[in-house]
Amino acid sequence: MNKVVLVTGSSIGIGRATIIEFAKNNCNVVINYNSHKKEAEELEKYIKSNFNVETMVIKCDISNEIEVKIMIEKIINKFKNIDILINNAAIEVSSSFEEKTVNDFKKILNVNLIGTFLVSKYVSKYMLKQKKGKIINVASNNAINTNDPNTLEYDASKSGVISLTHNLSKYLAPYISVNAVAPGWVETKKIKELDKLLNEEFIKEESKKIYLKRFAKEEEIASLIYYLTTNDYINNEVIKIDGGTY
């Protein structure tokens, strides 16, 4: 029987690549989105055309507890279980320290940290019933090393995700393993669209700081995420995948 995988924020970027990686490995996939409906539907069509797996597309704001509960109930009603959860959904507000507001900070924390907590809470309830499951949280190497102080609220949220990973791995043991990946710069269309500072010159300069002299590809992050779900003895780990930096 195919495993069932929920990837939050999976219509674009790393999430999209992760959905494809799991579908390629014969897993039924749940595509979650909040604002990128068109991309989510296009991804589902791509999966159905290329892989013999079942799919589901669900709109959900993961910072909204009621919406999260409804999303998980819909998945359980269709698939009866959730084997793997990838907490990938995240947002970032690009602004200088002086321009940041309390609302900006709260918005980031609500999605990146509280959203990860909420989805983990409601999914783990069913994983504990079946006494098995895997949770992978997508953090950031910014949570480990300060890269740019102007992303301090994003970095703080991802530091919280790392702390959440350690706590959940202990609380949900021995049935559910919880790990995190901490990517560095990733070459995604989303990043370039969200941050106009990420022009070719900036990418060139940042690449010089990386031992491998380039940004990661989305697929490289996705393959690590998939691997962590295939190994039953890796738990409570935060694995940097940044090409060697700092």
Does a structural domain hold residue 21? yes
Residues in the chain: 246
- R_g of the chain, CA atoms, integer Å: 17
Q: Establish if 204 belongs to a structural domain.
A: no
Domain CATH code at residue 50: 3.40.50.720
Q: Is residue 93 part of a domain?
A: yes
How far is residue 219's CA from residue 225's CA, in Å, rounded to a whole number? 10
Comparing 53-67, 108-122, 187-201, the range with the smallest average pLDDT is 187-201
Does residue 196 lie in a domain region?
no
pLDDT at res. 92: 85
Structure token pair of residue 207: 């690449």
**For this structure, is 227 an active site residue?**
no
Q: What is the pLDDT of residues 75-95, one digit of tens each?
A: 999 999 999 999 999 998 777
Under a CB-based contact definition with an 8 Å cutoff, are residues 119 and 85 in contact?
yes
34 assigned to some structural domain: yes
The parent domain of residue 34 ranges over 4-186+218-241
Q: What is the pLDDT of residues 159-201, one digit of tens each?
A: 999 999 999 999 999 999 999 999 988 887 655 555 555 667 7
Catalytic option among 122, 126, 154, 226: 154
**Residue 211, in any domain of the structure:** no
Cis peptide bond N-terminal to 149, omega within 30: no
Asked, for residue 53, whether it belongs to a domain, the answer is yes
Q: C-alpha distances in angstroms, 152 versus 4, 43, 144, 163, 193?
A: 35, 32, 12, 16, 20
Query: 122-167, pLDDT tens digit by residue?
Result: 999 999 999 999 999 999 998 898 777 778 899 999 999 999 999 9
Question: CB within 8 A of 38, min separation 6: which ones?
Answer: none
How many domains are contained in the chain?
1
The pTM score is 0.94
Residue 47 lies in a domain: yes
